[in-house]
Structure 1
Amino acid sequence: MVQLRNDERLDYLLAEDLRIIQSPSVFAFSLDAVLLSKFVYLPIQKGNIIDLCTGNGVIPFLLSTRTKGFITGVEIQERLFDMAKRSAQYNRLDDRIRFIHGDIKDMPKKLGYGKFDVVTCNPPYFKTLGKEINMNEHFAIARHEIYCTLEDVVRVSSQLVRPGGKVAFVHRPNRFVEIVELMRQYRIEPKKIRFVYPKLGKEANTLLIEGTKDGSPDLKILPPLIVYNEHNEYTKEVREILYGTK
């Protein structure tokens, strides 16, 4: 059994045979995290993988179903770190997944430069300047660049990943140019991009992007991913991503 605190609940992790601790007042994972976990390249048999801004650990848990490699999650909020750690223990994955409570900016010095084959991150999307900050501290930190900026995320990812290793982000399309510029500035060459659209005919609201450290230019734009059909139901591809069913 797992000890739940306050308003926490133990949810099934979609199509996977896993459970994850969530809390509506602190954190519940979104579609963005699931899409990133399915989008990123992973070595199947082995590898050293790290997820920055990991929240309650949803991305490491999802990645663990695609690789036998060792996964590290880094989270600055102690409450979320504790939730992730207890979920790992409940799922008996603490021999393959570890969580670190700390600032991502400290990780290269703490964990080593160029030690990871893959880096993933679902970072805060919004700049703090000129934006109304959520009154809920947990939501504000998760959504706004309070403890780390986009540049911090890209720079730290570049420092952690080995040459030839992969770095993948999920973000908002309105920062697409900034993301590409920062990736190239920190020697991560964009290799594949996919835009996610809420419905056909609507503007994209999510961006998935993966790059290679010190890679050569060779960018692929993948087909668009449409989330909802004309009946406001998940499309066939999204259902397969979420639930493993068509």
Structure 2
Amino acid sequence: MTNVEAYLKSPTERVDDLLCNGLKIIQDKNSYCFSIDAVLLSNFVRAGKKDRIIDLGTGSGVIPLLLSAKTEAPKIVGIEMLEEVAERAERSVLMNNLKGRVKIICGDLKEAPRIFGRESFTVVVTNPPYMRMDEGKISPKKDIAIARHEVAATLEDVVNAAAGLLTFGGKFYMVYRTWRLTDAIFELKNRALEPKLLRFIQPRAADPPNLFLVLAQKGAGSGLKILPPLVVYNDDGNYTEEINRIYFEDLKSSSS
């Protein structure tokens, strides 16, 4: 990966280091930039050599890029509805020499089962918008509004798409806000995506969780395992040991 500047098309774009297997990503300072949520979700996902992964609402493409290093899946797709954002993500794929393995598609995630075919993926991942339309201030910038609010896709839309895309026994991974935990569980169970693993994320050990990671499996029986919480910061404001491992160790996750 040389001459990364050649992949930039705007003076507001920059190349950031993902600190994982030499991966880099193009981001625009005037656009939505990924957060720790995407990194923690990518680390939570497990996929092997026979898995086909799709990321719903991929944005910058950070999740497919990270999953190319953290899993052995031979096919990783990201779908993004905004043409400009999808094109930028595709340039990141090219910059990392991942064209043969990672693909970015410009399209509406709600149409993904029609675009790719039903039951065409074994793993679906998503970091969807957290806020309903009546909550908080909606950004005047379209890409930021879509990333944060349910402007283009609701939680129900995301879960419906995942259920249509997954093979029987396929796995759905999501990061979401805790205050919508009951909404998430309701939507998952309503589409025969049974929650199997749940992990809460706490800013500090003394803080209540504000995020959660969930794994649901299509057609699985009931039975939910709650993992120990993931704490982001120590009391001194530095990352915890686990967060440091997630961010700075170039180790592939073991496949399952």
- Report the TM-score, using the length of structure 1 for normalisation: 0.96
Q: How far did residue 191 of structure 1 move? A: 0.3
Partner residue in 1 for 2:40: 35
Which structure's relative contact order is higher, taking Cα pairs within 8 Å and 6+ residues apart?
A: 2
Q: Any gaps of 5 or more consecutive residues in structure 2?
A: 251-256
Q: Determine the C-alpha separation between the residues in 2 that align with 1:160 and 1:58.
A: 21
Instruction: Find the counterpart in structure 1 of residue 15 from structure 2.
Output: 10
Rounded Cα–Cα distance in structure 2 between residues aligned with 1:46 and 1:94? 18
User: Which shows bigger deviation, 24-33 or 142-151?
Assistant: 24-33
1:210 aligns with 2:215: yes
Which residue number corresponds to residue 49 of structure 1? 53
Contact 2:52 2:73 in 1 (8 A): no
Give the one of 196, 221, 227 matched to 1:222: 227
Residue identity (%): 41
Q: Given the alignment, which residue of 60, 67, 75 partners 1:63?
A: 67
Change (3 A) 1:193 1:130: closer
Tell me how large the CA RMSD over aligned residues is.
1.1
Paired residue for 1:141?
A: 146
Per-residue CA shift, 1:98-151, capped at 9, x if unaligned?
110010011101110011010000001100124321122221111000000000
- Give TM-score scaled by structure 2 length: 0.93
2:196 to 191, 196, 200: 191
Q: Which runs of 4+ in 1 moved over 3 A?
A: none
Contact in 2 for aligned 1:27/1:80 (Cα 8 Å): no
Residue equivalent to 2:86: 81
**Distance (Å, rounded) in 2 between the aligned partners of 1:73 and 1:61:** 10
Amino acid aligned to 1:158: A
Which runs of 5 or more structure 1 residues have no equivalent in the other structure? none
AA aligned to 1:224 is: P
